[in-house]
């Protein structure tokens, strides 16, 4: 068993039998260590520069970091002689929860290094004849030749295979853009459409499963609302590293903790920066065992009468036998499952949960009592715990605890989902895709390999019973999912090299990413420093905002904006007028600002936006409370579930289970109506029996990168080098010291990297920070340290989502 860590007053590090600093190599501190550092290394960035920039700059323009972290941080670029010479943070806003300053993190503060990287793509490239994807043999071509080739191939493929042979890859490093983000989707939709996707690699399991409980996906209360709480639990949630901006969840979490001092617990396999900076206690847990911990807590709540029966009776279906839907089997309620009266006949005691989770039974009992007695209690779950082979049940299970304790719909409580936010009413550039067929986002490699075999009941195809065609053309825009963020990269590489499968791959990016290396045509895009846009916030808590993105410099080299590329291609496809509607990109921005003003009449003029940069709207209710209308009057505001209530037992899932097909049921794939603990392939119990691969592996989000974005920037690589987390006992038993070069191997591949031996990870678990760029050597060993060299392509049962935290591995000291 792993003991929990209760931090002494004023402590910032976990106790250890060895010196923490000896093993970490650096002192701990907040994730924003470099966020306020002076920019160095290029002209105008020295200490002599003025605190708020250069006084002799030709201009200072507003811009933003647009990568896919959920934050949208404001930047100010200072320009002299046509070059960006200094990058400044936001200087508007407050130092309060309301209307905060949008300070960028280490990633956003290094954006200029991406703009001026010597590795920027400079001209359109075509793979040389006679070479295979990935060989690295390219020839420069003109934009006219590139667009002619793409247009001709597009027409041929649609003619040969149909419109549903076209796939537009879902992931993008410009997800924070507007015109930037939506240009390609708009073009392809107007050209006839493409097979779409649902879910995401980040959130498929919770996005798809929560509606069976609540009728729709709801966020929980905002982080700032936890000022009303008596206890806050970040369950697998790490906003200090994943949402690092000054105006986003990092700021809300640290500011709320500082001002209100609410007792905070972090449950996570790692002692994360969130645990360091805002928590009183860290409870280490084995990956994939969250639903078992919930069950053990629920047993204590029932045994000691710490649950809210009145709330359950009024608002819920399926908790006990007296409140079950018609036709449900006997002893199929959640209470029956906990008490051992269900199908498995096992009572879910703290001892039972301790055996699975690695958390001592005494800790589970104490945690349950804290949750049951804290009125109110806020449980904010992250998304990592649902990225498991049966992650749908983990996330739904956590949502049971606020129900049992009556914390839904009130200040200081929440529904147990991720922290909520208010939205900015931004007018967007996209149009509706006329093709209604969709696949789960994680299924695209299977759709390339055998798409016509994918069905609704087996693979989650939506819009038709089965796909009409394999995917023959793949367009990947500013994303690195093709050969970095997807699973089993060695197998994926071989699939992409097979030109008889996908016949054309187009990649648009700033740099030659690992995905771009496996394309046929590579188009060099501008960065957002080289174009205009108007963007809105995403996960912004109780202050939503828009940022004016102004072009700082002319496009470098022979790069073009996404809008200009798509205009060229639209002309060749005969839809230029429909695509542009007679507007330039700058005119589209003006149009979108005017359209936004229809919903938000107080929005500033364009001149004011150019000058002030960030327009904020604050939550008129103060802090966001999820499901408040339902709590206040469930009859007048029923949920969109069959019962109109919160369904702990889902009769819909029970019915679906009769028809859905699971060819790999022996691996634990199944649909069940309750959020039970389900052991699966390479899960916590499998690790005990696997002598060859005895360690569980996860891939945590990393402060030096947003997924793989910024993964090639020299500053972020120096500040936050890729290191593989390994516990002291696991390192000792393998003769590994901190800093050693090690190999991590699974049944899919091998990665190399530097060992970070630390007490900050639960024994039996390895963590490889996700997003490092895939760099296989001649022996197929990934020297870049990309976690997905080791992960498996096997989607979760309900959402068909990404299971990339379900892995068994072995670690050894590297021997050349």
pLDDT digits over 523-571, tens only?
A: 999 999 999 999 999 888 899 999 999 999 999 999 999 999 999 999 9
Contacts of 226 (CB under 8 A, 6+ apart): 232, 256, 260, 262, 378, 380, 412
Do residues 450 and 589 both lie within one domain? yes
Whether the predicted pLDDT of 650 surpasses 80: yes
Q: What is the pLDDT of residue 97?
A: 87
Flag whether 712 is in a domain: yes
Q: What is the pLDDT of residue 174?
A: 86
Question: Which of 547, 571, 598 is the endpoint of a domain?
Answer: 598
Higher pLDDT among residues 723 and 8, named by residue:
723
Flag whether 54 is in a domain: no
Q: How confident is the model at residue 41 (pLDDT cuts 50, 70, 90)?
A: very low
Whether the predicted pLDDT of 658 surpasses 70: yes
User: How would you list the strands of the sheet with 83-89, edge to edge?
Assistant: 59-65, 73-80, 83-89
Q: What is the pLDDT of residue 28?
A: 28
SS3 73: strand
Whether the predicted pLDDT of 30 surpasses 50: no
Q: How far apart are the first and last CA of the chain?
A: 35
How, if at all, do strands 5-6 and 281-283 pair? Answer: antiparallel
Rg (CA), the chain: 26
Contact 791, 487 (CB under 8 A): yes
Q: What is the pLDDT of residue 1?
A: 64
Do residues 456 and 562 both lie within one domain? yes
Do residues 561 and 510 both lie within one domain? yes
Flag whether 104 is in a domain: no
CATH number at residue 268: 3.40.228.10
Averaged pLDDT score across all residues of the chain: 92
What is the tally of structural domains in the chain? 3
> pLDDT by residue (tens digit) across 324-342?
999 999 999 999 999 999 9
Contacts of 665 (CB under 8 A, 6+ apart): none
Question: Which of 542, 565, 598 is the endpoint of a domain?
Answer: 598
Q: Which residue, chain included where needed, has tokens 């960065």?
A: 527
Alpha-carbon span 774 to 482, nearest angstrom: 11
Q: How confident is the model at residue 79 (pLDDT cuts 50, 70, 90)?
A: very high
Question: What number is the average pLDDT over the span 115-133?
Answer: 96
Flag whether 617 is in a domain: no
Do residues 589 and 569 both lie within one domain? yes
Alpha-carbon span 370 to 265, nearest angstrom: 10
Flag whether 118 is in a domain: no
Q: What six digits make up the tokens of 804?
A: 């990339």
Flag whether 651 is in a domain: no
Q: Give the range of the structural domain holding residue 752, as residue numbers without chain letter.
A: 686-813
Contacts of 718 (CB under 8 A, 6+ apart): none
Q: What is the pLDDT of residue 71?
A: 82
Do residues 318 and 352 both lie within one domain? yes
Flag whether 667 is in a domain: no
Q: What six digits make up the tokens of 70?
A: 């959920």
Do residues 405 and 451 both lie within one domain? no
Whether the predicted pLDDT of 90 surpasses 80: yes
Do residues 446 and 330 both lie within one domain? no
- Write out 573-586 in H/E/C secondary structure: CCCHHHHHCCCCHH
Please report, for residues 460, 772, 773, the alpha-carbon distance to residue 171 in angstroms, rounded to integers and kept in the order given: 19, 16, 16
Do residues 211 and 197 both lie within one domain? no
> pLDDT by residue (tens digit) across 250-305?
889 999 999 999 999 999 999 999 999 999 999 999 999 999 999 999 999 999 99
Do residues 156 and 212 both lie within one domain? no
Alpha helices in 261-374 (DSSP H): 273-278, 290-303, 309-315, 334-339, 350-357, 361-373
Q: What is the pLDDT of residue 72?
A: 87
Question: What number is the average pLDDT over the span 575-597?
Answer: 97
Contact 73, 243 (CB under 8 A): no
Q: What is the pLDDT of residue 173?
A: 85
Do residues 216 and 234 both lie within one domain? yes
Alpha-carbon span 672 to 592, nearest angstrom: 45
Contact 325, 311 (CB under 8 A): no
Higher pLDDT among residues 48 and 216, named by residue:
216
CATH number at residue 507: 3.40.50.740
> pLDDT by residue (tens digit) across 513-536?
999 999 999 999 999 999 999 999
Give the H/E segment covering residue 565.
Answer: helix 562-572
Q: How confident is the model at residue 776 (pLDDT cuts 50, 70, 90)?
A: very high
Query: What percent of the chain is modeled with pLDDT above 70?
Result: 94
Q: How confident is the model at residue 10 (pLDDT cuts 50, 70, 90)?
A: very low
> pLDDT by residue (tens digit) across 359-412?
999 999 999 999 999 999 999 999 999 999 999 999 999 999 999 999 999 999
Alpha-carbon span 15 to 593, nearest angstrom: 53
Q: How confident is the model at residue 3 (pLDDT cuts 50, 70, 90)?
A: low
Do residues 293 and 372 both lie within one domain? yes
Q: How confident is the model at residue 5 (pLDDT cuts 50, 70, 90)?
A: low
Alpha-carbon span 416 to 407, nearest angstrom: 9
Alpha-carbon span 538 to 174, nearest angstrom: 13
Flag whether 603 is in a domain: no
Determine the Cα angle at 684 with ends 679 and 690, to 5°: 105
Do residues 214 and 350 both lie within one domain? yes
CATH number at residue 729: 2.40.40.20
Give strand ranges (E) for 408-459: 438-440
How, if at all, do strands 83-89 and 125-127 pair? Answer: unpaired
Name the DSSP letter for residue 38: P
Q: Which residue, chain included where needed, has tokens 């209604």?
A: 436
Q: How confident is the model at residue 491 (pLDDT cuts 50, 70, 90)?
A: very high
In total, the chain counts a number of residues equal to 816
Contact 700, 770 (CB under 8 A): yes
> pLDDT by residue (tens digit) across 691-742?
999 999 999 998 889 899 889 999 999 999 999 999 999 999 999 999 999 9
């Amino acid at each position: 068993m792993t003991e929990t860590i209760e931090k002494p007053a004023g402590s910032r590090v976990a106790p250890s039998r060895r010196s923490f600093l000896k093993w970490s190599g650096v002192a701990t501190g907040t994730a924003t260590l470099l966020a306020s550092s002076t920019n160095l290394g290029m002209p105008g960035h020295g200490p002599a520069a003025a605190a708020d920039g250069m006084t002799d700059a030709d201009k200072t323009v507003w811009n933003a970091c647009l990568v896919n972290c959920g934050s949208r941080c404001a930047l100010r670029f200072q320009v002299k002689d046509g070059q960006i010479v200094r990058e400044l943070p936001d200087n508007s806003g407050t130092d309060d929860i309301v209307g905060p300053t949008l300070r960028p993190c280490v990633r956003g503060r290094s954006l200029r290094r991406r703009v001026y990287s010597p590795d920027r793509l400079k001209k359109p490239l075509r793979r040389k004849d006679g070479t295979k994807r990935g060989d690295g043999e390219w020839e420069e071509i003109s934009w006219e030749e590139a667009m002619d080739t793409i247009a001709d191939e597009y027409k041929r493929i649609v003619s040969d295979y149909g419109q549903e042979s076209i796939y537009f890859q879902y992931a993008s490093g410009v997800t924070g853009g507007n015109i930037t983000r939506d240009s390609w989707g708009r073009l392809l939709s107007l050209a006839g459409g493409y097979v779409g996707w649902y879910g995401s690699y980040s959130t498929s399991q919770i996005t798809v499963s929560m509606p069976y409980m609540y009728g729709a996906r709801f966020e929980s209360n905002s982080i700032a609302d936890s000022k009303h709480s008596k206890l806050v639990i970040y369950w697998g949630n790490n906003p200090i590293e994943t949402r690092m901006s000054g105006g986003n969840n990092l700021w809300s979490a640290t500011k709320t903790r500082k001002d209100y001092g609410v007792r905070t617990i972090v449950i996570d396999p790692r002692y994360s920066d969130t645990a360091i900076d805002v928590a009183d206690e860290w409870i280490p847990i084995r990956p994939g065992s969250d639903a078992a911990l919930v069950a053990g807590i629920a047993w204590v709540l029932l045994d000691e009468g710490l649950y809210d029966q009145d709330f359950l009776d009024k608002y819920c279906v399926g908790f006990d036998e007296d409140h079950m839907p018609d036709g449900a089997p006997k002893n199929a309620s959640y209470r029956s499952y906990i008490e051992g009266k269900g199908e498995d006949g096992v009572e879910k005691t703290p001892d039972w949960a301790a055996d699975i989770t690695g958390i001592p039974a005494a800790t589970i009992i104490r945690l349950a009592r804290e949750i049951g007695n804290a009125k109110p209690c806020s449980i904010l779950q992250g998304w990592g715990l649902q990225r498991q082979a049966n992650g749908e049940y983990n996330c739904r299970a956590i949502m049971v605890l606020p129900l049992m304790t009556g914390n839904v719909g009130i200040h200081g409580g929440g529904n147990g989902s991720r922290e909520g936010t208010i939205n900015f009413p931004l007018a967007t550039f996209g149009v509706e895709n006329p093709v209604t067929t969709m696949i789960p986002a994680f299924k695209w490699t299977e759709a390339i390999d055998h798409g016509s075999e994918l069905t609704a009941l087996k693979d989650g195809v939506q819009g038709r019973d089965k796909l009409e065609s394999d995917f023959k053309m793949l367009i990947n825009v500013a994303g690195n999912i093709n050969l970095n963020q997807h699973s089993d990269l060695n197998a994926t590489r071989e699939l992409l090299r097979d030109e008889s499968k996908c016949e054309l791959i187009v990649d648009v990016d700033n740099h030659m990413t690992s995905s771009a290396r496996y394309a046929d045509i590579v188009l060099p895009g501008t960065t957002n420093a080289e174009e205009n846009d108007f963007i809105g916030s995403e996960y912004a808590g109780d202050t939503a905002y828009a940022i004016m993105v102004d072009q700082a410099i002319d496009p470098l080299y022979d790069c073009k904006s996404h809008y200009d590329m798509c205009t060229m291609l639209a002309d060749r496809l005969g839809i230029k007028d429909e695509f542009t509607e007679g507007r330039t990109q700058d005119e589209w921005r003006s149009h979108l600002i005017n359209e936004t003003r229809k919903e938000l009449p107080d929005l500033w003029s364009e001149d004011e936006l150019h000058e002030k940069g960030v327009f904020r709207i604050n939550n008129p209710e103060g802090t966001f409370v999820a499901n408040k209308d339902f709590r206040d009057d469930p009859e007048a505001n029923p949920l969109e579930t069959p019962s109109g209530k919160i369904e702990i037992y889902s009769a819909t899932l029970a019915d679906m289970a009769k028809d859905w097909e699971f060819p790999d049921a022996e691996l634990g794939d199944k649909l069940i109506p309750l959020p039970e603990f389900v052991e699966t392939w390479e899960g916590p119990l499998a690790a005990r029996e696997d002598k060859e691969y005895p360690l569980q592996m996860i891939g945590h989000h990393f402060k030096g990168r947003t997924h793989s974005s910024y993964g090639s920037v020299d500053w972020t690589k120096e500040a936050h080098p890729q290191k593989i987390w390994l516990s002291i006992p696991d390192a000792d038993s393998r003769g590994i010291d901190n800093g050693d070069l090690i190999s991590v191997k699974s049944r899919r591949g091998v990665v190399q990297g530097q060992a970070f031996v630390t007490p900050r990870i639960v024994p039996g678990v390895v963590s490889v920070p996700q997003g490092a760029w895939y760099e296989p050597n001649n022996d197929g060993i990934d020297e870049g340290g990309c976690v997905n060299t080791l992960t498996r392509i096997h989607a979760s049962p309900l959402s068909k989502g990404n299971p990339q935290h379900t892995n068994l591995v072995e670690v050894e000291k590297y021997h050349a």
